[in-house]
Amino acid sequence: MPDITLVEVGPRDGLQNEKGVVATDIKLALIRRLADAGFSRIEATAFVSPKWVPQMADHAAVMAGVPRRAGLIYSVLAPNEKGAAAAIAAGADEIAVFTAASESFARKNTNCSIAESLERFLPVMALARQAGIPVRGYVSCVLDCPYEGAIPAQAVAEVAARLDELGCVEISLGDTIGRGTPEATAAMVEAVAARVPVGRLAGHFHDTAGRALANVAAAHALGVTVFDGSVGGLGGCPYAPGAAGNVATEALVGFFEGQGLSTGIDLARLAETGRWVRAELGRAGG
């Protein structure tokens, strides 16, 4: 087992906001390259309404075409019962649900309150349990919100605890707009870890202010060993003005391997994949 587990979210979180439609075969080629680079966890697509996220309209075709290998887990975003049922039918290995630590962001992003978003997850959790599939929970705006400013650490801890109670096996804490600091990150992780075992937490940092790796280091120092990254730093959020892409997975691999910590990822292959996907998106007008 590697010292650090990296969850590659590029095929979903990285591509969902590309303006030009990314062809299904490009998505599948990206996923194959990522699998070849050594990833054991890849977020492949999202079972959400094409009306809201047109880039993910081909979710069923993507899941039908991904390479299936022993030990390779494909996660998909499925925030409601309809999406979860379709994701399970399509062969998802893991379902991800998402909410926020900010009421304003929750309403912008999910068109409901935090409490209502959690209520929507109940049938998702039930379906996942019946299918024997784990559920991962995302919490957005764990440090800062574009509408509310700084988010209290205890507010994040409360949402994370609710997701834990619902049955999420892992909770990914997202600095959605990338304005967080290492000090705020440490305070937030400490607060959440008092409610949810730190071994079940993951970090999801954006690099808007150039502090993603410093925040990763702060979370890791407190025991977090799972981090989300997006190849080539792809991604952003349509409901988070000014949010740059996720931290590049290449940067995460280099950061941890430079400290003598294993990730199980072939950095040369990953870097080549980053260059390749950027070139493909350029050709597609994304």
Q: Catalogue the active-site residues.
A: 237
Kindly report the backbone phi and psi dihedral angles of residue 209, in degrees, each rounded to the nearest multiple of 5, phi listed first. Answer: -100, 10
Amino acid at 180: G
If DSSP codes are grouped into helix, strand and coil, which group holds residue 194? coil
How far is residue 172's CA from residue 131's CA, in Å, rounded to a whole number? 22
How far is residue 142's CA from residue 155's CA, in Å, rounded to a whole number? 8
Nearest CA-CA partner of 180 in 143, 147, 208, 154: 143
Q: Which residues contact 204 (CB under 8 A, 6 or more apart)?
A: 9, 138, 172, 173, 174, 175, 227, 228, 246
Residue that is written with structure tokens 């870890």 in the block: 193
